[in-house]
Structure 1
Amino acid sequence: MPLNNRVDADPDELVQLIGPNGERRENAAYDRWVTGVDGPALQALYEDMVVIRRIDAEATALQRQGELALWPPLLGQEAAQIGSGRALREDDFVFSSYRENGVAYCRGVDLTDILRVWRGNASSGWDPYGINMATPQVIIGAQTLHATGYAMGILNDGADAVAVTYFGDGATSQGDVNEAMVFAASYQAPVIFFCQNNHWAISEPVGLQAHVPIAHRAPGFGIPSVRVDGNDVLACLAVTREALDRARTGGGPTFIEAVTYRMGPHTTADDPTRYRDANELEDWAAKDPIARLAGLLDSQGLLPAEVTDAVKTKADDVAARLREGCISMAEPEALDVFKHVYSEPNSWLARQQDQYERYLASFESSNSDSTELTEGSR
Structure 2
Amino acid sequence: MGEPAPAPPPESAPPEALLVRFTREPGRPDEATFFRVSSPSKPAAMPHRVTIPSGYSLSNVCNGLLCFARDSAEAPAFICNPITGETARVPKAPPPMGFTGGTIYHIFALGFSPSTTEHKLFRFTCSPFSSIHGKDIDLCVCTLDGAAGGGRWRQSSFRSQCPLLSTLLPVLVQGKLYLVTTGKTGPGERRNPDGLLEVDVATEARRTHRLPFEADQYHSAWDPLVNSCEMGGRLCLAVDILSGTETTARKIQFWVLMSSSPPAHHDQQLESDNLRWDLRYSFRVDGNYYFFQPRSVWFDDGEMTLCYRDYNVLFKHGTRGRSPEPSPDADCPQCDRQIKLPQMPSNCQWNIFAGYRPSLLSPLTLAPPASCWDGDEERQKFEHALLLALE
TM-score under structure 2 normalisation?
Answer: 0.31
> Who wins on radius of gyration, i.e. which is larger?
1
Larger RCO of the pair (alpha carbons < 8 Å, separation 6+): 1
| TM-score using structure 1 length | 0.31
